[in-house]
């Protein structure tokens, strides 16, 4: 199971970034079922955090906490900062941002201090997870029963949300659950856990429960009260590991078909460029929607442009930037 997850990582990350970019596109959707799917495609972020948790365990074990954080900085910041500075400058030029918000944006601190005219919450919040991963891995390494530690940490995370209610705390605590789950998977892999069938079955049960919760809640609380309490995101924490395990089990069989193998190669390339696609599409989407509205065909054209630009930026520009 763990080896299949590792082999399918790029493909799953590609699916995740496709889901996120489709979610951020403001399509005009009349079908209830399509709208249900579209409004929950943001769960791609949870796949990012799940694999980030797994990767954190292996990276800290191999390079230490300082080496892990250095690798994160070198992987993300060289590509992010040019996009962030150019986008923020454009927002100031067009009158959307003031200079205080500009500096909050380029330092990635604005979101933490209530400045919501930012590129995206993820680029600010993910560093909190990276920093916490170092002491958390120390706890996992010293604990003989990591599952019990994981359960305690999850309960503690839920308690924080109760103590600190609100949109920001709710979203972070819900997303922290899947990051912790990723770290648990990474630690179990390091320990040579043999109970992979049990893990897969339990993840499958949580997958069914999470999908049921998502479908049940959607018509009654679309971006309302439950959204502010975090109930919107809890299903993602439940079903993300199950989806990852299921797709990673099916993918080696499906890729034997030539057409699927060709499409899968494209998706894998998108997965390898997911960070760059994420930052470029957010910058372009926000710049466009501030001045005009798009039709559905125009949205698909912009999405294709963002995917191509993100892959090109990752392959040919980022490696030539300073500090990369």
Question: Residue 289: its pLDDT value, please?
Answer: 85
Give the mean pLDDT of 266-288.
Answer: 95
The set of residues, in sequence order, having a beta carbon less than 8 Å from that of 40 and lying 6+ positions away, is 23, 214, 218, 236
d(CA 172, CA 128): 9
pLDDT above 90 coverage of the chain, percent: 73
Is the pLDDT score of 323 beyond 80?
A: no
The set of residues, in sequence order, having a beta carbon less than 8 Å from that of 106 and lying 6+ positions away, is 81, 84, 85, 88
- 153-182 confidence digits (pLDDT tens): 999 998 887 787 677 777 888 899 999 999
What are the two backbone dihedrals, phi and then psi, of residue 208, each rounded to the nearest 5 degrees? -65, -45
Q: What is the pTM of this model?
A: 0.95
Question: Residue 221: its pLDDT value, please?
Answer: 59
Q: Which CA distances in Å does 201 have to 1, 183, 235? A: 12, 19, 17
Is the pLDDT score of 69 beyond 80?
A: yes
Is the pLDDT score of 32 beyond 80?
A: yes
What integer best gives the mean pLDDT of the chain?
Answer: 91
Is the pLDDT score of 91 beyond 80?
A: yes
- 219-255 confidence digits (pLDDT tens): 765 555 566 666 778 899 999 999 999 999 998 888 8
Give the mean pLDDT of 253-267.
Answer: 89
The set of residues, in sequence order, having a beta carbon less than 8 Å from that of 252 and lying 6+ positions away, is 4, 7, 8
Is the pLDDT score of 298 beyond 80?
A: yes
The set of residues, in sequence order, having a beta carbon less than 8 Å from that of 169 and lying 6+ positions away, is 160, 161
∠ CA 121-123-127 to the nearest 5 degrees? 110
* Mutual angle of helices 44-93 and 121-142, in 10-degree steps: 140
Question: Residue 224: its pLDDT value, please?
Answer: 58
Is 172 within 8 Å of 229 (Cβ atoms)?
Answer: no
Band (pLDDT 50/70/90 cuts) for residue 322 is confident
Question: Residue 257: its pLDDT value, please?
Answer: 84
Give the mean pLDDT of 179-190.
Answer: 96
Structural tokens at position 290: 């501030």
Question: Residue 223: its pLDDT value, please?
Answer: 56
- 113-138 confidence digits (pLDDT tens): 888 888 889 999 999 999 999 999 99
């Amino acid at each position: 199971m763990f080896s299949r997850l590792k082999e399918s990582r790029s493909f799953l990350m590609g699916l995740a970034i496709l889901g996120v970019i489709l979610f951020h596109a403001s399509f005009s959707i009349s079908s209830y079922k399509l709208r249900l799917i579209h409004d929950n495609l943001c769960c791609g972020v949870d796949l990012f955090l799940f694999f980030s948790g797994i990767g954190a365990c292996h990276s800290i074990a191999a390079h230490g906490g300082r080496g892990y954080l250095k690798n994160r900085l070198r992987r993300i910041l060289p590509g992010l900062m040019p996009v962030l500075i150019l986008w923020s400058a454009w927002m100031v030029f067009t009158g959307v941002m003031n200079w205080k918000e500009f500096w909050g944006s380029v330092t990635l601190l604005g979101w933490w201090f209530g400045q919501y005219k930012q590129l995206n919450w993820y680029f600010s919040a993910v560093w909190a997870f990276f920093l916490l991963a170092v002491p958390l891995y120390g706890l996992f390494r010293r604990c003989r029963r990591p599952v019990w530690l994981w359960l305690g940490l999850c309960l503690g995370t839920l308690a924080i949300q109760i103590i600190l209610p609100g949109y920001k705390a709710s979203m972070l605590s819900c997303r922290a659950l899947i990051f912790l789950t990723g770290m648990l998977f990474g630690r179990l892999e390091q320990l040579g856990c043999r109970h992979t069938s049990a893990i897969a079955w339990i993840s499958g049960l949580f997958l069914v429960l999470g999908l049921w919760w998502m479908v049940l809640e959607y018509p009654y609380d679309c971006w309302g009260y439950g959204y502010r309490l975090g109930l919107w995101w809890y299903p993602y924490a439940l079903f993300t590991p199950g989806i990852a395990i299921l797709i990673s089990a099916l993918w080696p069989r499906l890729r034997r078909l030539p057409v699927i193998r060709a499409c899968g190669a494209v998706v894998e390339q998108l997965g390898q460029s997911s960070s760059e696609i994420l930052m470029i599409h957010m910058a372009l989407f926000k710049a466009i929607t501030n001045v005009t509205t798009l039709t559905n065909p125009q949205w698909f054209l912009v999405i294709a442009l963002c995917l191509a630009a993100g892959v090109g930026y990752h392959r040919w520009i980022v490696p030539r930037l300073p500090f990369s």
